[in-house]
Chain A
Amino acid sequence: MVLDDEVLAVLTAIVTVASAIGIASLIPRNPEPFVAIGLLSERGVIGGYPRLLGEPVRLRVFVANHLGEVAMLKVVAKLGARGRLPTSEAPLDAPPVWERAVILGHGQNATIPVQLVVEREGLNVALVFELWAYDASRGAWVYTGRWCHLYVNVTRGAP
């Protein structure tokens, strides 16, 4: 079989396209960075959350880092209520009741066990978990705008 010009042109075009794709995949890109937080039950799954608390509440908080570099994240638990929750711009104006810092590389995640004791009774108490990140350039913790919450009723007799 003789290699004619048309066949050679088609083969060269295929090699050119493959080369362009290879170069495009090599050039460093800056994908949209994000962090994530999620609330899991004590068993580490979605669902099966406690609703009625008469004892220490045990949960797990999932955090993930996709910022493109290592990140120091902090989960901060606060007390809220219906209509009193954080937003994507501002954290809840309440004192933290629990916090846990973790350092994650790009693409890494962690599931952090949480154990809280509610002292007094109440209805529809929002357990709010905010995600903060340490900004090394500013030297301060910055609210990421990511948060999750769980409504619970706290019964009398909680320890």
Chain B
Amino acid sequence: MRRLALPALALLACAALAQPGEERVVQAFKLLAQLSAEGVDVSSQVARLNRALELYRENRTSEADALVAGVVRDSEALELQLPYYRLARWVGLGASVAALAAAPPLFYYLFPRLYALAWAYARRRWLVRRVGRRGAGR
């Protein structure tokens, strides 16, 4: 079997081996990771960071730096709102769970009454006529 001369093989990448600007993007990503773990929507920031990575690869460093700086600024603003976001999320979740948990007993209590009301409403024009005493006419 022909022995492969792998050590003699070499690949040249068409792109640069080291991802340019990666360190700056990593710093912004750390903020995004924290926000994302809390459930904050960071899709806009993700798209901008990916664009920044492209710009770094094209050596358009100043544009990329501006994008990354904008993402960091937005992420820091979101980070400040994180306690309120967290509180609103838990309050919303609690309210939803409470509403769903209350549905069965409310249904059990209200449904027969509403049904009786609807039944009576549907027959609101009915007349009750006495046809005589029980056993009358015998």
Residues of A bordering B, CB below 8 Å: 3, 8, 11-12, 15-16, 18-19, 22-23, 26-28, 56, 69-72, 74, 77, 79, 81-82, 84, 96-106, 108, 115-125, 127, 134, 136, 154
Is B103 within 8 A of A15, CB to CB?
yes
The residue in chain A whose Cβ has the minimal distance to the Cβ of B29 is A72
Closest CB in chain A relative to B67 CB, distance in Å: 12
Which A residues are CB-close (under 8 A) to B12?
97, 116-119
28 pairs, A vs B, C-beta closer than 8 Å: A3-B116, A15-B104, A19-B100, A19-B101, A19-B103, A26-B93, A26-B97, A70-B32, A71-B33, A72-B25, A79-B6, A97-B10, A97-B11, A97-B17, A98-B15, A99-B18, A101-B53, A102-B53, A103-B25, A103-B50, A105-B43, A115-B14, A117-B13, A119-B9, A119-B12, A122-B5, A123-B2, A136-B29
Q: Which B residue's beta carbon lies closest to that of A124?
A: B4
Is the pair A84, B101 in contact by a Cβ cutoff of 8 Å? no
Asked if residues A69 and B29 are in contact (CB atoms below 8 Å), the reply is no
Complex: A122 Cα to B9 Cα, angstroms: 7
A123 to B10, CA, bound (A): 13
Cβ of B84 < 8 Å from any Cβ of A? no
Distance between Cα atoms of A124 and B29 in the complex (Å): 38
A98-B2 contact, Cβ under 8 Å, with A103-B50, A136-B34? no
Residues of A within 8 A of B2 (CB): 123
B112 contacts partner chain A, Cβ-Cβ < 8 Å: yes
Tell me which residues across on chain A come within 8 A of B46, comparing CB atoms.
70, 103-105, 108
A74 to B50, alpha carbons, bound, how many Å?
Answer: 12
The reply to whether B10 and A96 form a contact with Cβ atoms under 8 Å apart is no
**Assuming the A-B contacts A8-B108, A103-B50, are A118 and B115 also in contact, with contact meaning beta carbons closer than 8 angstroms in the complex?**
no
Give the contacting residue for B100; candidates A23, A81, A115; CB below 8 A: A23
Q: Which of B4-54 contact A (CB under 8 A)?
A: 4-6, 8-15, 17-19, 22, 25-26, 29-30, 32-34, 36-37, 42-43, 46, 49-50, 53
Q: How far is the CA of A118 from the CA of B8 in the complex (A)?
A: 11
Contacts of B67-104 to chain A: CB distance below 8 A = 93, 96-97, 100-101, 103-104
Of B8, B97, B103, B108, which contacts A120 at CB under 8 A? B8
